[in-house]
Structure 1
Amino acid sequence: MNDLIQLRHKLHQNPEIAGEERETSHKILEFIKPLSPDIILEGLGGTGLAFVFKGKRSGKRLLFRCELDALPIEEHGTPLYKSLIKRKAHLCGHDGHMAILCGLAQKLSQKRPDSGEVVLLFQPAEETGEGAKRVLGDPRFESIRPDYAFALHNLPGFPLHQIITRKGTFAAGSTGVTYLFEGKTSHAAHPSDGINPAPAISQMILDIPSILKELDRFALATVIQVSVGSLAYGTSAGSGRLSLTLRAFDQKILEQLIDKMEDKAKSLAKDNKLRLSISYQESFAVSTNDLKASAIAEEAFESLNLDSVENPEPFRWSEDFGLFSQSCPSYLFGLGSGENCPQLHEPTYDFPDELIETGVQVFEKITQIKTLQGL
C-alpha cells in the first residue's frame, strides 16, 4: 500500500476544488496509464477520467466511481503532507477515495476480470453537485454506460473499517434555492411609499413548518441566508433575498417540496406586489441503492468477513452519486473512518490511510463475484 499512501499524500498536498481539477486528473493519469488499461477517456464531463479494463469474455460492465475535487476550506490539521494551497483542502476524503480506485487499477492490471468490463471513473465537481450531470451528459459516457455502478464514502463516527449499508434510499437528495424579491425603495420616514420585501420574506420563513407538514414523508427546509435592503438608515429596503436548502429522502417528495416552496414564494410576491426571480444551485439527486447491486456488494462484505451495520434511516446529507442511481442500478455504501475521527468538512479532518486497503479489497471482491449473481 505504500505507493497508494504516497499518492494520497501528494493529492492531499495539492488540492483542487470543483471545476479546477486539471492537475489532479494529470496525477491520476500518470499513475494509471502505465497499468495499461484497455481504454482511457480524458476530459470526461470537464476534468473527469475513465479507465476501462476488459475481461476475458463478454459480460456485465461494472463502474466504480470516486471524486476528484477538494473543498474551499483552510486546513487546520498538522499532517506532514498538509495542504500547500491556502483555503483549499481535501477535508472530505476524496484523496483517499481516489487512492482506493488507483489500488483497484493495480489489481485489474495484474488480473483482468473473468468477464465483462470494469470502468474506473474519477468524477469532477462532486461537492457542487455538478460533476455527475456533466459526466452523464458527455456523449462519450454512452460507450461506458454501466450495468451496475458502485461507490463508497468514508464516514467518521463509525468504527474504523466498518461497512455502513442500507437498501433503498442511502442518502437524501437536496437543492439550494434563492428567492429574490424586488420591490421599491423609499425614504425610511415614509415606508408606505415604497414596497419593502421584508414582510413577504418573514412570512415565507414562518410558513416553512406548515409546508413541510403537507408532505407525508421526511422533508426539510433549512434557512441558509437572509438579506434585505442595505445598511442605509434613511432608506426603506426595496429588495431582499432568501436562500434555503431543501432536502428529502424520496425524489418525488423533494420535487413536491420544491414546487410547494416555489408556489408559496409566487403567492407572497403577488400579494405584496413584488417581482420574483428564483435560482437553483448545487442540486443532488436522492441516492438509491438497487436491490441486485446491494446483493452483489453484501456478498463481498460477507466473504471478506467485514463488520457490517445497516443504518436505520437514510443519511440527511447528499452525494452526487445519487444521479447515477437515477440512471442505472447503483450502490453506495459507507466505510467507517473511526469513532473519534473529525467529521467531514471539519478543518482538522484527514482520511485514514489504513482505509485504502479495505476499500481496494471490497471493490476487487465485487468484480470477482459478479458472475455468481446470475446477472
Structure 2
Amino acid sequence: MPVINRIAGFAEEMAAWRRHLHQMPELRFDCHKTAAFVVERVREFGITEIHEGIATSGVVAMIDGQGPGDVIGLRADMDALPMEETGTPDWKSRVPGAMHACGHDGHTAMLLGAAKYLAETRNFSGRVALIFQPAEENGGGAEVMVNEGVLDRFGVSQVYALHNGPNLPEGHFFTTPGPIMAAADEFRFHVTGQGGHGAMPHETRDPVVAACGIVQAIQTIVSRNNSALDDLVISVTQIHTGSADNVIPDTAFINGTVRSFVPHVRDMAERRLAEIVAGQAQSYGVTAELSYVRGYPPTVNHAEGASFAADVAAEVVGAEAVEPAMKREMGAEDFAYMLQARPGAYLFLGQGPGAGLHQTDYDFNDAVAPVGASFFARLVERAQPSTKKVA
C-alpha cells in the first residue's frame, strides 16, 4: 500500500501549514502560538477532545475510533532553535534569532496531516492520542509531559515518533531495535589561576596553559579508559579566556558534551572527568571547579515496536526503502523519556540532499510530509484495526 491517496490529496495544505509554522518559530516551552495553530487545525478536523497547557504549551488531542480498544500515542515536537536563519525561502523565519533548523515544523505538519485523515476515516479501534510537545531541543519537554502523567492520564499503551533525516534518501525510513540515539550529558569547568603580564609568565599561575592541558588529558578517556566496543564521544566545544595579547588572564572556562549508551560507560566518563580536572589543575597550580549535568537518556526502541513500525513503513514506501537495522547515532532525543515509560519506536524519514540539521540554511522538504503522515495513519490502522466496517 503506497502513500494514502487521501493524504496525498492535501499535500499542498500540509506544506502551507508547515511554511506558516516555519515563519513563527518558538523556543523551548514557549510554543503558545504554535499550539494555538495546532488547536485551530484539529478543531477544523472535527476533533473535540483537546487538552492544552500540558508542559506549559503542549497539546494532546484525542480521536475516537470504531469501538473499544487501546490508545496509541503519536508524538510531534514543536519547538525551534535559537539561530538566525540564513536561507532565503519565501517562508523564512520572521523571528530574529530563531528558526526551525531541525524540522519540527515539518514534524508538526505531518502529525496534523495524519490527524486530518484519521478524524475523517476513523478506520481503527480504540483511540489515538496526538501529542504535540514543546521543548525537545532544550528543556526535556517529553520528560515534563511524562512526569505530568500524560501517558497515564490518556491511557496510552504504546507511542511512536518520526524525525526527518537530511541527506538520507528521500522518502526512505530508518530505524533499529534497541538503542537508536545516545545519552547526552554536559560538563563545564572554570579554571582559576593568577594572571599577570604576558612577558613575565613565571610570576603567574597560568589558567590558559592549564586549560589546554586539561583538554588534552580529557581526550584519553575515550582512547585509554573506554573499551573500543562501547560507543563513547567526548567533545570539548567551548574554551573562553583572556582579553589581550599581553595579559595572562586569571580564569578560563571550558564546556563540552559526553555521549554514551550504557550506564557503566556514562558513570566512568563522569568519574574520569572529575579525576582528570582535579589532578591536572593541581599539577598546574590552579584550581578547577567541575559541573557535570546528566541530560537526556539513550533513546531505546522496543524490539517489537521497531519491527512493527518497519513493517508499516514498508507498506507505505516498499520494503526496499526501509532500513530496519540502521547504525545507531550519537545524537540525543528527549523522546527517550516516553520510550522509557511505554513500548514503541522512533524512526528517521529521509528527506533527500540539503543542509543538515541545526544548520542556518536548513529547510524541511515538504515532499516527504505525505509519506510521514501516511506512516502515522497506517501505524494506527495496523496497530488497532477496526472491528466495524466503515462505509
TM-score normalised by L of structure 2 = 0.86
Q: What is the correspondence of 1:119-268 to structure 2 with a 5 Å cutoff? A: 119-140=129-150, 142-144=152-154, 146-186=156-196, 191=201, 194-213=204-223, 214-216=225-227, 217-231=230-244, 233-234=246-247, 236-268=248-280
Amino acid at match of 1:51: A
Question: Do the aligned partners of residues 145 and 178 (structure 1) sit closer, same or farther apart at CA in structure 2, a change above 3 Å counting?
Answer: farther
**Residues in 2 aligned to 1:110 and 1:147: alpha-carbon distance in whole angstroms:** 23
Question: Do the aligned partners of residues 267 and 57 (structure 1) sit closer, same or farther apart at CA in structure 2, a change above 3 Å counting?
Answer: farther
C-alpha contact (below 8 Å) 2:80/2:101 kept by paired residues: yes
**Aligned residue in 2 for 1:315:** 329
SS in 2 for 1:63: strand
Task: Provide structure 2 residue ranges, at least 5 long, that are not aligned to the other structure.
Answer: 1-9, 386-391
Q: What is the correspondence of 1:72-111 to structure 2 with a 5 Å cutoff? A: 72-111=82-121
**Residues in 1 aligned to 2:197 and 2:289: alpha-carbon distance in whole angstroms:** 25
**Residues in 2 aligned to 1:110 and 1:252: alpha-carbon distance in whole angstroms:** 49
Question: Do the aligned partners of residues 266 and 149 (structure 1) sit closer, same or farther apart at CA in structure 2, a change above 3 Å counting?
Answer: farther
Question: Do the aligned partners of residues 233 and 224 (structure 1) sit closer, same or farther apart at CA in structure 2, a change above 3 Å counting?
Answer: same
Match of residue 36, structure 2, among 6, 12, 26 = 26
* Cα displacement (A) at 1:294: 1.1
Amino acid at match of 2:55: G
Match of residue 60, structure 1, among 43, 53, 70 = 70
C-alpha contact (below 8 Å) 1:129/1:283 kept by paired residues: no
**Residues in 2 aligned to 1:256 and 1:145: alpha-carbon distance in whole angstroms:** 38
* Cα displacement (A) at 1:8: 0.9
Amino acid at match of 1:301: A
SS in 2 for 1:279: strand
C-alpha contact (below 8 Å) 1:65/1:123 kept by paired residues: yes
Identity of aligned residues (%): 26
Match of residue 357, structure 2, among 344, 351, 371 = 344
The CA deviation string for residues 111-134 of structure 1, in whole angstroms up to 9 with x for no partner, is 336333321111111112532222
* Cα displacement (A) at 1:188: 5.2
Question: Do the aligned partners of residues 194 and 77 (structure 1) sit closer, same or farther apart at CA in structure 2, a change above 3 Å counting?
Answer: closer
**Residues in 2 aligned to 1:274 and 1:56: alpha-carbon distance in whole angstroms:** 69
SS in 2 for 1:24: helix
TM-align CA RMSD: 2.5
**Residues in 2 aligned to 1:4 and 1:320: alpha-carbon distance in whole angstroms:** 25
C-alpha contact (below 8 Å) 2:214/2:281 kept by paired residues: no
Aligned length: 370
> Does residue 1:334 correspond to 2:334, yes or no?
no
* Cα displacement (A) at 1:331: 0.8
C-alpha contact (below 8 Å) 1:128/1:282 kept by paired residues: no
Amino acid at match of 2:356: Q
Task: Provide structure 1 residue ranges, at least 5 long, that are not aligned to the other structure.
Answer: none
Q: Which moved more, 1:360-369 or 1:298-307?
A: 298-307
Amino acid at match of 2:126: G
Amino acid at match of 2:335: F
Question: Do the aligned partners of residues 230 and 113 (structure 1) sit closer, same or farther apart at CA in structure 2, a change above 3 Å counting?
Answer: farther
Amino acid at match of 1:317: G
The CA deviation string for residues 326-375 of structure 1, in whole angstroms up to 9 with x for no partner, is 3322311111101x222222232221112111111101111111147xxx
Amino acid at match of 2:338: F
